[in-house]
Amino acid sequence: MSDAGPPRKFMSEFAVSVCSSRWIMIPPSELTRDDGEIDPKSAQVAEVCHIYLICRRPATSYDPDSFKFDGSRISGKLVYKIEGKSQELPFDVPFQLLDGAVSVQVSAYPHRSVESCLPNGECVRHVPATLMAAAVAPNGILRQFEVLYVGQAYAEGRRSALDRLKSHSTLQKILADVLHKMPDDEIMLLTFEYPGYDVVASLDGTDKTAIRDETDAARFPNIIDNPLTEHQKICLAEAGLIRYFTPPYNEIYKESFPAADQKILAECYAVDFSALIVEIDTEELGMELYSEKVAASGHHMAKFDLIDPTARRSFFTFVTKDGKPIQFPDVIAPTR
């Protein structure tokens, strides 16, 4: 074996790359509210979100003594606790009375929402403190979500992540555990759309031992002619995110992904993908995801070798002109 490590098998190598697109964040209480229907735009996004994350962050509520409504804006303070110590976050945002509402008030204790009400007292709209915090909090702990569980719902495209979460036993367990062990925190649900996948190619003509004939030339057309299904794509995204974040409430894939005998990878091996890239992005609203194993960031990229990098040069390894190998950091190797 040379200083550059194992040889490249083919002049061209291919990776499948899946990246999140649109996403929705809601508190679990919104799943069962009688008036919990979301707006049409968000509903359309929700229908195509098949990946979901169950996350934790400090719980927020409104301070009723500071709350004000001047006819066009609401203002006041959000309150929360860090390790038992009270914290405050001021807010001042536009607010319109819609759907016949004539008044605005903070909900009863624990003051989790602002409600707009009809003359008879019926509330027709509400703004949860969790969503207000997401909108007005500066960078920091209220914009950081610890990933506790990653899951998927598909059913041939007929079942969304929100559908799955409405009857989710693990969600109920997490809610119970957080209420008992971390009473100052709350659970938030994030659902993500994974609209497609890209084929990423790596070409290296410096390794003269690599296969570069018609056998290599036929591989890319073979990949295009045998696309991954939508369900395979969703399963790859789920498995990759679980292995990357290693959430405490997941059981499968945390240590075993990727492995050659896993059914979800069969098609990847059939067309000789040598790598997988799974991305998840929450930078649009300045939110960050993290876990015990992964630092907080608004953009995460999980990189996986699907082949044994000790026997065949990794997709993520490049060789300089002087023959020195350079590998991307934090690449997850296949299990054996």
pLDDT of residue 3: 59
Query: Cα 44 to the chain's mean position, in Å?
Result: 18
Mean pLDDT of 245-267: 92
Q: What is the pLDDT of residue 38?
A: 61
Average pLDDT in the 137-144 region?
88
- 1 band by pLDDT with thresholds 50, 70 and 90: very low
* pLDDT winner (highest mean) among 10-14, 25-29, 65-69, 254-258: 65-69
Query: Is residue 147 in a domain?
Result: yes
Does residue 243 contact residue 276 with C-beta atoms inside 8 Å?
no
Same domain, 159 and 203: no
Confidence grade of residue 319 (pLDDT, cut at 50, 70, 90): confident
Domain end, chosen from 162, 192, 222, is at 192
Same structural domain, 186 and 307: no
Contacts of 303 (CB under 8 A, 6+ apart): 275, 276, 277, 316, 328, 330, 331, 332
Weakest mean pLDDT among 17-26, 106-115, 309-318: 309-318
Shared domain for 17 and 29, answered yes or no, is no
Are the C-beta atoms of 331 and 314 separated by less than 8 Å? yes
Is there a single domain that holds both residue 137 and residue 238?
no
3-state secondary structure the chain: CECCECCCCECEEEEEEEECCCEEEECHHHHCCCCCCCCHHHHHHHHCCCEEEEEEEECCEECCCCCEECCCEEEEEEEEEECCEEEEEEEEEECCCCCCCCEEEECCCCCCEEEEECCCCCEEEEEEHHHHHHHHCCCCHHHEEEEEEEEECCCCCCCCHHHHHCCCHHHHHHHHHHHHHCCCEEEEEEEECCCCCEEEEEECCCCCCCECCHHHHCHHHHHHHCCCCHHHHHHHHHHHHHHHHCCCCCCCCCCCCCCCCCHHHHHHHHCCCCEEEEEEECHHHCCEEECCCCCCECEEEEEEECCCCCCCCCCCEEECCCCCEEECCCEECCCC
Q: Which residues of 30-46 are buried (b: 16+ CB within 10 A; e: fewer)?
A: bbeeeeeeeeeeeeebb
Q: Are residues 45 and 119 in the same domain?
A: yes
- Asked if 31 and 180 sit in the same domain, the reply is yes
Shared domain check, 74 and 91: yes
pLDDT score at 36? 47
Residue 179 has pLDDT above 70, yes or no: yes
Q: Confidence band (pLDDT; 50, 70, 90) for 286? A: confident
* 4 inside domain: no
Q: 126 and 225: one domain?
A: no
Q: Which two tokens stand for residue 318?
A: 């490049």
198 is a domain residue: yes
Tell me, what's the pLDDT at 247?
96
- In terms of domains, do 17 and 113 share one? no
Q: Is residue 326 part of a domain?
A: yes
Q: Is residue 151 part of a domain?
A: yes
Report the mean per-residue pLDDT for the chain: 88
Structural domain containing residue 261: 12-21+194-332
* Whole-number percent of the chain with pLDDT over 90: 53
Our count of domains for the chain comes to 2
Per-residue confidence (pLDDT) for residue 292, from 0 to 100: 95
The tens digit of pLDDT for each residue in 35-84 reads 445 667 777 788 888 899 999 999 999 999 999 999 999 999 999 999 88
Name the percent of the chain lying above pLDDT 70: 94
> What is the spatial distance between Cα 278 and Cα 308, in angstroms, rounded to a whole number?
19
For tokens 């040889």, the residue is 7
Whether 5 is covered by a domain: the verdict is: no
Same domain, 30 and 173: yes
Query: Is residue 7 one of the residues assigned to a domain?
Result: no
The answer on 249 and 165 residing in a single domain is no
Q: Are residues 35 and 184 in the same domain?
A: yes
Please report the pLDDT score of residue 180 as a whole number.
87
Q: Which residue has the higher pLDDT, 17 or 203?
A: 17
Q: Which of 160, 192, 224 is the last residue of a domain?
A: 192
Mean local confidence (pLDDT), 201-217: 79
pLDDT above 90 for 156:
no
Q: Record the pTM.
A: 0.88
Q: What is the pLDDT of residue 33?
A: 57
In a domain? residue 1: no
Instruction: Give pLDDT, residue 107.
Output: 95
177, 192, 207: which is the final residue of a domain? Answer: 192
